[in-house]
Amino acid sequence: MLKTTAKRDLGALLAATFLSWMGQRITAIALPLVALAQTGDVWTTGLVAGAAGLPLLTSGWWAGGLRHRISDGGALAVVQVGQALGLLIVPVAALFGAISAVHLGLCGLLSGAAAALAGPARQALTADVADRLGPGAAARALAWQDLAHRASMVLAPPLAAAAVAATGPVPLLWCEAAGLTIAAVITLPVRPSRRPRKTDAPVRIRAVLRRHRELRRVFVMSGVGGAVWFAFVLGLAVLGAQTGRPGVLIAAGMAGYGLGSVAGAVAAPVLSTRLPPVRTAAFSWIVLGLAFVAIAAVDGSPVLIAVLAAAGGLAMPIGIAVVNALISFRTTGPERQAAFAAESIVHDGAATLGMLAGGAVIGAAGARPTLVVAGLLQIGVALALGGWFPHRPRRSDEGGLGGRGQNAGPRRSDEGGLGGRGQNAGPRRSDEGGLGGRGQNAGPRRSDDGGLGGRGQDAGHAGRPQCLQDVGLRVAHGEGTAVP
């Protein structure tokens, strides 16, 4: 019965994710057209997107207490209804023929604030519900959620273009509000595995980043990738206009990237728990960086650009999936919510700032040099933070897939990876255990943050409780689940 309810709730959350993202992508096409038609001012076309980005960029300061309260489907539904009401400001004003910059800015602020709360809450609730299905289920569920998100990248633009041609852009805004309302109704009955206690305090994002070194590393890589994303989007648009093919190169690049990312997202649920998370995330950013450099080097062929963009798109969902798996293994409850919020703020906030400054950068440096520098920057940061270079004396930051060799000496691991220890391993102090058990004949161990799985035979005394066998969840934190 428990697993049946969990599967039903997961289905509801995945459907709500797809509806929400379809609506957001359709609105991204319709709103600029409505703004231009109603106001006649080109500068208003980006006002909603700019205003929507402000709540996200500042959510680290204002959203902590509210985020702590969004712990079940009912609270998430309220936020989604609020997002729908914010979006309705523009179509309602259009009925009276009186859309102004104030309406557009208010629409962006309200819907952006709701989206900043709803996104991380939906991810955390998805992982929490999937925990009922056993070890690794949360990572796989988050990968399927990302697939629903990426499917909207491919499906929404052609549907929106056809709808605009048939009915105009205003009806699309009503459709998104209706879609968000349906998503709210779907998520209403979803219940978490554990309700927050009254004694639970909201966890600050800074506390999560201080505690989890490996999350800091992958978030920095994600932030750099988000900040230079403009080089691909704006760079191809400018390059196409400069070569007499306006819209052709960016269409080829986005189509290739979208199809590649969908293919990668299909494989991600299988791979998300099988790969070392930090190095896999770094590898995905290296592939995307190489794609940027190669796109700048080709002669502007739409086919080559589409193929190269597809290669970058193929790698990214796998990198994102292992990061989400890392969050689901390392955190729980409010800490998990704060970790997903940090991921969103860092990447999406950096992307917003990059898009704001990107036009000026490309205007000063040119599209091709900007693509090259953006690609090399992603590669350099990924090489620096991916844990590729061994330390002496040995200190492992990422255990990866598998265990330690035989007769290994003392070791302190900040990131156990997805695997156990080998036989006859010496004493070990682990700040964060990985997914899996310990080997045989393991010596005494002190763990501040246990992973998923039990200990092997003949193990010494442990400083934490065993795995929660009744529901197959992760081991409780020795320091407590100081939830962010």
User: With 90 as the cut, is the pLDDT of residue 126 above it?
Assistant: yes
Residue 382 in contact with residue 225, Cβ under 8 Å?
A: no
Q: What is the residue extent of each domain of the chain?
A: 1-198, 203-389
- For residue 23, which of 163, 193, 188 has the smallest C-alpha distance? 163
User: Residue for token digits 């207490």?
Assistant: 65
Distance, in Å, from the CA atom of 397 to the CA atom of 384, rounded to the nearest integer, reads 13
User: With 60 as the cut, is the pLDDT of residue 397 above it?
Assistant: no
Give the per-residue pLDDT at 75.
93
Distance, in Å, from the CA atom of 254 to the CA atom of 157, rounded to the nearest integer, reads 11
Domain 203-389 CATH superfamily: MFS general substrate transporter like domains (1.20.1250.20)
Mean pLDDT in residue range 224-238: 93
Give the per-residue pLDDT at 481.
32
Give the per-residue pLDDT at 197.
63
pLDDT in tens, 424-449: 444 444 343 334 444 444 444 443 44
User: With 70 as the cut, is the pLDDT of residue 334 above it?
Assistant: yes
pLDDT in tens, 188-225: 999 877 666 655 667 888 889 999 999 999 999 999 99
User: Could you give phi then psi for residue 335, rounded to 5 degrees?
Assistant: -65, -40
Question: Edge-to-edge strands of the sheet including 411-413?
Answer: 411-413, 428-430, 445-447
Give the per-residue pLDDT at 51.
79
User: Could you give phi then psi for residue 436, rounded to 5 degrees?
Assistant: 130, 175
Residue 330 in contact with residue 432, Cβ under 8 Å?
A: yes
Domain 1-198 CATH superfamily: MFS general substrate transporter like domains (1.20.1250.20)
Sign of CA dihedral 160, 161, 163, 167: positive
Distance, in Å, from the CA atom of 151 to the CA atom of 358, rounded to the nearest integer, reads 27
- CB hemisphere CA count around 29 (13 angstroms): 23
DSSP SS3 for 446: strand
Distance, in Å, from the CA atom of 359 to the CA atom of 355, rounded to the nearest integer, reads 7
Strand partners, 418: 401
Let me know the angle formed at the C-alpha of 408 by 406 and 412, rounded to the nearest 5 degrees. 140
User: With 50 as the cut, is the pLDDT of residue 411 above it?
Assistant: no
Residue 227 in contact with residue 351, Cβ under 8 Å?
A: yes
User: With 90 as the cut, is the pLDDT of residue 59 above it?
Assistant: no
Give the per-residue pLDDT at 35.
76
Q: Which spans in 331-416 are helix H?
A: 333-365, 367-385
User: Could you give phi then psi for residue 213, rounded to 5 degrees?
Assistant: -65, -40
Sign of CA dihedral 226, 232, 238, 241: negative
Let me know the angle formed at the C-alpha of 9 by 5 and 11, rounded to the nearest 5 degrees. 120
Give the per-residue pLDDT at 390.
60
Distance linking the first and last C-alpha atoms of the chain: 30
Tell me the Cα Rg of the chain. 23
Secondary structure element (H or E) that encloses residue 428, with its range: strand 428-430
User: With 80 as the cut, is the pLDDT of residue 22 above it?
Assistant: yes
User: With 70 as the cut, is the pLDDT of residue 414 above it?
Assistant: no
Give the per-residue pLDDT at 245.
82
CB-based contacts of 417: which residues, under 8 Å, 6+ apart?
Answer: 276, 277, 398, 399, 400, 401, 402, 434, 435
Give the per-residue pLDDT at 447.
39
When the pLDDT of each residue in the chain is averaged and rounded to a whole number, the result is 79
Distance, in Å, from the CA atom of 303 to the CA atom of 318, rounded to the nearest integer, reads 24
**Which amino acid is located at 404 in the chain?**
R
How many CB atoms lie under 10 A from the CB of residue 263? 15
User: Is the pLDDT higher at 377 or at 416?
Assistant: 377
pLDDT in tens, 141-197: 999 999 998 998 888 888 888 888 888 888 888 888 998 999 999 999 998 776 666
User: Is the pLDDT higher at 259 or at 60?
Assistant: 259
Q: Residue 412 — very low, low, confident or very high, per pLDDT cuts 50/70/90?
A: very low
Mean pLDDT in residue range 324-329: 93
Q: Residue 419 — very low, low, confident or very high, per pLDDT cuts 50/70/90?
A: very low
For residue 271 the two structure tokens come to 């791979």
For residue 40 the two structure tokens come to 């006649």
Q: Residue 100 — very low, low, confident or very high, per pLDDT cuts 50/70/90?
A: confident
Mean pLDDT in residue range 301-311: 94
User: Is the pLDDT higher at 184 or at 474?
Assistant: 184
For residue 7 the two structure tokens come to 């599967």
Contacts 24+ apart (CB under 8 A), 248-252: 248/302, 249/300, 249/302, 249/305, 251/302, 252/302, 252/303, 252/305, 252/306, 252/309
For residue 432 the two structure tokens come to 């964060």
**Which amino acid is located at 195 in the chain?**
R
pLDDT in tens, 31-54: 777 777 777 776 666 677 677 788
Give the per-residue pLDDT at 73.
92
Distance, in Å, from the CA atom of 323 to the CA atom of 218, rounded to the nearest integer, reads 7
For residue 448 the two structure tokens come to 């501040």
Answer whether the bond into residue 393 is a cis peptide, omega within 30°. Answer: yes
Fill in the DSSP letter of residue 44. G
Let me know the angle formed at the C-alpha of 137 by 136 and 140, rounded to the nearest 5 degrees. 90
Give the per-residue pLDDT at 214.
93
DSSP SS3 for 401: strand
Give the per-residue pLDDT at 200.
66
Mean pLDDT in residue range 356-385: 93
Domains 1-198 and 203-389 share a fold: yes
CB-based contacts of 400: which residues, under 8 Å, 6+ apart?
Answer: 275, 276, 279, 417, 418, 419
Give the per-residue pLDDT at 398.
43
**DSSP labels, 454-480:** ---TT---BSSPPP-TTTT-PPPPTT-
Give the per-residue pLDDT at 1.
62
Give the per-residue pLDDT at 319.
96
Give the per-residue pLDDT at 342.
92
Percent of the residues in the chain that have a pLDDT greater than 70, as a whole number = 76
Give the per-residue pLDDT at 429.
40
